[in-house]
Structure 1
Amino acid sequence: MKLGLMVSRFDWPGGCHAYGPTLGRIGQDAEQAGFSSLWMMDHFFQTPLNGPPEGDCLEAYTTLAFVAGQTRSLRLGTMVSGVTHRHPGVLVKTVTTLDVLSGGRAALGVGASWFEEEQRALGIPVLPLSERFERLEETLRIAHRMWAGDESPFEGEHYRLDRPLNAPAALTRPHPPILVGGQGEKKTFRLIAQYADMCNFYEPPTPEMLAEKVKALPPDHPMRRGGGRDPFGMLRRKLAVLRERCDEYGRPWKELEKTTLGGVTLSRAGGPRTMTPAQAVERYGTLAELGIDHAVVEPSDLHRPGSLDLWAEVVAQLR
Structure 2
Amino acid sequence: MTSAPDFRVFVEPQQGAAYTDQLAVARAAEDLGFSAFFRSDHYLAMNGDGLPGPTDSWVTLAGIARETSTIRLGTMVTSATFRHPGPLGISVAQVDEMSGGRVEFGIGAGWFEAEHQAYAIPFPSLGERFDRLTEQLEIITGLWATPQGQTFDYSGAHYTVVDSPGLPKPAQSPHPPIIIGGQGAKRTPALAAKFAAEFNVPFVPLETLRTQFERVGRAVSDAGRAADSMTYSAAFVLCAGRDDAEIARRAAAIGREVDELRSNSPTVGTPSEIVDKLGPFLEAGVQRVYLQVLDMSDLSHLELFAREVIPQLG
Q: TM > 0.5 between the two?
A: yes
Bigger shift: 126-135 or 270-279?
270-279
2:129 corresponds to 1:132: yes
Quote the residue 1:225 is aligned against.
Answer: none
* Residues in 2 aligned to 1:58 and 1:264: alpha-carbon distance in whole angstroms: 22
Could you tell me how far apart the structure 1 residues matched to 2:8 and 2:299 are? Answer: 18
Partners of 1:124 and 1:24 lie apart in 2 by 27
Which residue number corresponds to residue 306 of structure 1? 300
Asked if the contact 2:90–2:168 (Cα under 8 Å) also holds between the matched residues in 1, the reply is no
Letter paired with 1:289: E
Instruction: Select 2:93's aligned residue among 77, 93, 96.
Output: 96
Three-state SS of the structure 2 residue aligned to 1:306 is helix
Which residue number corresponds to residue 267 of structure 1? 241
The alignment status of 1:22 with 2:26, answered yes or no, reads no
Q: TM-score, normalised by structure 1?
A: 0.83
Paired residues in the alignment total 286
- Alignment match, 1:147: 144
Mapped contact 2:15–2:50 kept (Cα < 8 A) = no
Asked if the contact 1:89/1:164 (under 8 Å) is kept, the reply is: no
Off by >4 Å, runs of 4+ in structure 1: 52-55
CA positional deviation for 1:265: 0.3
* Equivalent AA in structure 1 for residue 161 of structure 2: L
Residues of 2 paired with 1:9 and 1:164: CA distance? 34
Instruction: Confirm or deny: 8 A CA contact 1:284 1:295 kept in the other structure.
Output: no
RMSD, aligned CA? 2.0
Q: Is the 8 A contact 1:2 1:318 kept in 2?
A: no
Determine helix, strand or coil for the equivalent of 1:3. strand
- The match for 2:252 is none
Any conservation in 1 of the 2:11–2:294 contact (CA below 8 Å)?
A: no
Determine which of 238, 252, 257 is the counterpart of 2:231.
257
Match in the other structure for 2:156: 156
Question: For residues 98 and 164 of structure 1, what CA distance do their matches in structure 2 show?
Answer: 20
Task: Please name the residue that 2:264 is paired with.
Answer: none
| TM-score normalised by the chain length of structure 2 | 0.84
Q: Is the 8 A contact 2:177 2:198 kept in 1?
A: yes
SS at match of 1:45: coil
The equivalences for 1:105-120 within 5 A come to 105-120=102-117
State the partner residue of 2:251: none
Describe the superposition over 1:76-111 as per-residue Cα deviations: whole angstroms up to 9, x where unpaired: 111111111100111111110010000101111111
Is the Cα contact below 8 Å between 2:144 and 2:166 reproduced in 1?
yes
Contact 2:22 2:296 in 1 (8 A): no
Quote the Cα distance in structure 2 between the aligned partners of 1:136 and 1:81.
10
Which deviations, in whole Å up to 9, do the C-alpha atoms of 1:142-162 show, x marking residues without a partner?
A: 122112125221111111111
What's the counterpart of residue 57 of structure 1?
Answer: 54
Task: Map 1:203-222 to 2 at 5 A.
Answer: 203-204=203-204
Match of 1:177 in 2: 177
Check whether the contact 2:15–2:51 (CA below 8 A) recurs between aligned residues.
no
Q: 2:290 aligns with which of 291, 296, 306?
A: 296
Tell me, yes or no, if structure 1 residue 8 matches structure 2 residue 7.
no
**Larger deviation, residues 303-312 vs 174-183:** 303-312
Unaligned runs of 5+ in 2: 249-257, 259-267
Structure 1: give runs of 5+ residues left out of the alignment: 205-230
2:270 to 273, 276, 279: 276
